[in-house]
Structure 1
Amino acid sequence: MNRLVDKLAILTICMMSLFMSDSFSEPVIVTIVTIALSSAAQLLTGRFTAYVIIMGCSLLSGIFPLFFCTVPLMLYDALWEKKWWLVLPAVVVLIRLDSLKIGQLMITAAATAVTIIVYHRISGLEKTVEKLTQLRDEVAGKNRQLSEQNMRLAQAQDNEIHLATLKERNRIAREIHDNVGHMLTRSLLQSGALLVINKDEQLREPLESLRSTLDSAMTSIRESVHDLHDDSIDLRKVIEESISTVDSRFTVSLDCDTSGSIPGNVKLCMIGVVKEGLSNAVKHSKGDRITIVIREHPAFYQLMLEDNGSCSEIKESGIGLKNMSDRAAALGGRISFTPSSEGFRIFMSVPK
């Protein structure tokens, strides 16, 4: 838009020189032709055709000296093309200076000076805008990187808090088991011993009530400890730790999409199957890639472990495969082993 406004201003000055001519029709024709050629040069910016148009308009000055008055407008287009020398053919008019009036030459010279000044002003302004735009993009990029980094830090902090919580639950469960559990066990044994050696029938009922209360407390403590221990198991974390011990010749990928409310026995079952599957792959597979996928569906949990080493048969006598089958069966689940020329797959589903 700035370029059009500048060209309009330059054209106005050029027209002042053109209409100093004695003829009325020639300035009109020259103005129309110049506007058309200058518009075409701007539309074709950067192309060879634009260069030809600018140089052709300059050459017209040698044939029709009145075109020399519009040279500033073509110079403006040439400057934007970074080829100011395209208007040099216009100097041929200098051999026919008598064809133009002194006032026309002076106005054309002034228009040329204005053209050069305006071009440098606008080009400098556009360079500044370009730098500001580039700076804005860099700042936006830095802000995006900072936002992503802050998000990663927040996630890392959340993971640390989660791990610390799990460790604290595990510690509490261990403390309850080692201290309160042992004390309740000793109290149960002592109450049982008192019932055996007691000869007073009046004390039997209170002692049996005491033993029943201690037994209920022991059961409640045991369930609480198991719940705390189950909650302290981070399925993804444990599997990632198991993956880190796999032979470096394998590339292991884990896709775990589950909620945080998986029962502890299901977690232990999946962890056991994954560890056994990884161990078998390292021992027997000739591949270099292992894929582990864990999914939670509305009605069941699903585990798939697959390697890309060829396998044509399964040794049914293997203890590892039997252990995995027993783990799945203990939870009412199903597990299958599928060998093929493309690899070995373990697929297990456990109902909720």
Structure 2
Amino acid sequence: MRILWEKAVVATFCLYNTYKIKPDGNLAFYFLISIIFSLMMDLLNNKKIKAIIYISFAMICFSDTLFVFYLPLILYNMYLDFSTYIIFSLPLIFMNFSLSNSFISVISVYLAAMTKKHKLILDENKTVRDKLKGETLYLEKYNKQLKIDKEKDVHIAILTERNRIARQLHDSIGHVISSSILQVEALKIISTEDNVIKNLNILQKTLKNGMEDIRKSIHNLYNESLDLESQIEKLCNEVPAIDTEIIYRIEDNLSYNLKFDILSVVKEGITNCIKHSNATKLRISLFSQPKFYSIIIKDNGNNFDKKALLSTKGIGLVSMKEIANKYNGFLNYKFDNGFKIHLTLMKG
């Protein structure tokens, strides 16, 4: 826009000079031809072609020296394209010398130099801005990953302590009860009264049942990790404003890391629904196929903030894509009567 305004001012002075020199001439012809040459310089990018057009204008000046009064307009573009090489065109001014035309030529070149300098500063600012934006997005992604890693570390620490307690209980309580059962068995051998033996049998059976219950509890405590289905239900309960349906069809014994990654995907899907959509319903489906796991998250929103959702592919969508790549899977998303995310994670 700045270039157009400056060229419009220069062209106006050129027209005025032409009018002063030849008021009864066909001024519109000279004006339009010069404007066409100038606009061609703005539209073309190939410098070789531009050089040919500049030479063509110089030849026109030789054929009709009145075109020299539009040289300031051409010099404006020439400086933007070739900088100091415009010195080779200065002799054209003396073909039909005018002090005012020379002055306008100097002003035109000065405006072009300032515009070029301004453009360089803008380009540098854009480069810095893009770099800062990229670093900001990287920091956001890095902080988000740190948060996920921290949550995972907390879960792992809890599980490690739980397993340690389970082993300790198994070693201590299990040993005590096993010893008690053996002692009861010894008492049965040395006892001669039927009533005592009967009660000892009951006691022994009770101890065995208790031992079995303790073993089952310790086994469950030792092996329990992340209950994926209950955690997803917990996330959905935190957003009562959205009617959420959960379809959970995974019977496999998933690893802790896989459960955590699936939970992260579901969390991102719920967050996207809340932040970028006016959805009132949300369906979360998890299926186990023979070769892969399928996670589908779909809402019924019809007023999306698509720019925010898909900007830089969205930090959330980037995280989902990385999780898909981690398991050699893929991520698809589309706007189809709502926003739908389909994530596939390969088994094995």
Partner of 2:7: 7
Q: Partner of 1:39: helix, strand, or coil?
A: helix
Residues of 2 paired with 1:158 and 1:225: CA distance?
25
Contact 1:58 1:87 in 2 (8 A): no
Contact 1:16 1:107 in 2 (8 A): no
Equivalent residues, number: 241
Deviation (angstroms), 1:200? 4.6
Q: Once the two structures are aligned, what percentage of the paired residues are identical?
A: 22
Greater Rg over alpha carbons, structure: 1
| CA-atom RMSD in angstroms | 3.4
Deviation (angstroms), 1:28? 2.3
| TM-score normalized by the length of structure 1 | 0.59
Query: Which of 151, 156, 163 matches 2:156?
Result: 163
Residues 1:218 and 2:236 are matched in the alignment: no
Partner of 1:153: 146
Partner of 2:132: 139
Contact 1:10 1:72 in 2 (8 A): yes
Query: Deviations for 1:26-64, whole angstroms, at most 9, x for unmatched residues?
Result: 322211111111112222233322112223323433332
Deviation (angstroms), 1:225? 2.6
Partner of 1:197: 190
1:192 alignment partner AA: E
Residues 1:88 and 2:81 are matched in the alignment: no
Contact 1:13 1:107 in 2 (8 A): no
Alignment of 1:301-340 (within 5 A): none
Q: Partner of 2:211: helix, strand, or coil?
A: helix
Q: Compared with structure 1, are the counterparts of its residues 263 and 57 closer, same or farther at alpha carbon in structure 2 (3 Å cutoff)?
A: closer
Residues of 1 paired with 2:55 and 2:69: CA distance?
15
Contact 1:71 1:90 in 2 (8 A): no
Deviation (angstroms), 1:152? 3.7
Query: Deviations for 1:147-202, whole angstroms, at most 9, x for unmatched residues?
Result: 33334433433443343333223212211121000111111122233333344555
Contact 1:15 1:31 in 2 (8 A): yes
| TM-score normalized by the length of structure 2 | 0.60
Residues of 2 paired with 1:53 and 1:129: CA distance?
28
Deviation (angstroms), 1:17? 0.6
Mark the runs of 5 or more structure 1 residues left unpaired by the alignment. 98-104, 234-258, 265-295, 303-348
Deviation (angstroms), 1:223? 1.5
Q: Compared with structure 1, are the counterparts of its residues 210 and 261 closer, same or farther at alpha carbon in structure 2 (3 Å cutoff)?
A: farther
Alignment of 1:176-195 (within 5 A): 176-195=169-188
Q: Compared with structure 1, are the counterparts of its residues 87 and 56 closer, same or farther at alpha carbon in structure 2 (3 Å cutoff)?
A: farther
Partner of 1:64: 64
Q: Compared with structure 1, are the counterparts of its residues 263 and 228 closer, same or farther at alpha carbon in structure 2 (3 Å cutoff)?
A: farther
Partner of 1:128: 121
Partner of 1:285: none
Q: Compared with structure 1, are the counterparts of its residues 95 and 58 closer, same or farther at alpha carbon in structure 2 (3 Å cutoff)?
A: closer
Contact 2:10 2:108 in 1 (8 A): yes
Residues of 2 paired with 1:76 and 1:163: CA distance?
68
Partner of 2:167: 174
Q: Compared with structure 1, are the counterparts of its residues 122 and 59 closer, same or farther at alpha carbon in structure 2 (3 Å cutoff)?
A: same
Q: Which moved more, 1:123-132 or 1:77-86?
A: 77-86
Alignment of 1:29-68 (within 5 A): 29-68=29-68
Residues of 2 paired with 1:89 and 1:114: CA distance?
16
1:190 alignment partner AA: Q
Residues of 1 paired with 2:70 and 2:289: CA distance?
83
Mark the runs of 5 or more structure 2 residues left unpaired by the alignment. 227-249, 256-285, 293-346
Deviation (angstroms), 1:137? 1.1
Query: Deviations for 1:85-116, whole angstroms, at most 9, x for unmatched residues?
Result: 3573452452554xxxxxxx233123223212
Residues of 2 paired with 1:169 and 1:66: CA distance?
95
Alignment of 1:197-276 (within 5 A): 197-231=190-224, 262=253
Partner of 1:117: 110
Contact 2:68 2:95 in 1 (8 A): no
Deviation (angstroms), 1:203? 4.2
